Amino acid sequence: MSQNLFVSSLAYQTSDDGLRAAFEAVGEVASARVITDRETGRSRGFGFVEMANEADNDAAIKQLDGTDLDGRTIKVAIAQPKPDRPRREFNGGYNGGRDNRRRSF
């Protein structure tokens, strides 16, 4: 089973292809993706790489963590699962200052 690697401190000009090329020096890359801002399309400075096997994951962490990529010292670690967050209410709980319960006077 392959795991995603979390790569942080990426330079803003690092592309998916550049990230893939850096990790292909270690082993076979299944996917490489730099995360971008939805509105601007600019890199958010981190990405994810999925190596073809677990041995390559370990090798990538040992060989690439703390190395230079596009002028920045990158950090490479096993990606942690996204924590479950409670569902958000989009009305913010605001009801115009009114209490929805019936009052008896």
How high is the mean pLDDT in each 10-residue block of the chain (105 residues)?
88 96 96 96 96 93 97 96 78 57 60
Query: Nearest to residue 49, comparing CAs of 21, 25, 30?
Result: 30
The correct CATH number of 4-78 out of 3.30.70.330, 3.40.50.300, 3.40.50.2300, 3.40.50.150 is 3.30.70.330
pTM here is 0.77
> Helices in 5-49 by DSSP H: which ranges?
16-24
Would you give the distance in Å from CA 16 to the centre of its chain? 13
Q: What is the pLDDT of residue 10?
A: 97
Q: Quick one: pLDDT at residue 87? A: 78
Token digits of residue 2: 């392959």
Tokens 């958010």 belong to: 44
In contact, 2 and 30? CB cutoff 8 Å: yes
What was the pLDDT predicted at 99?
A: 57
Q: Residue 46: what pLDDT? A: 97
Looking at residue 93, what is its pLDDT? 55
Per-residue DSSP letter, 100: -
Percentages (nearest 5) of helix, strand, coil residues in the chain: 20, 30, 50
Cβ pair 59, 30 in contact under 8 A: no
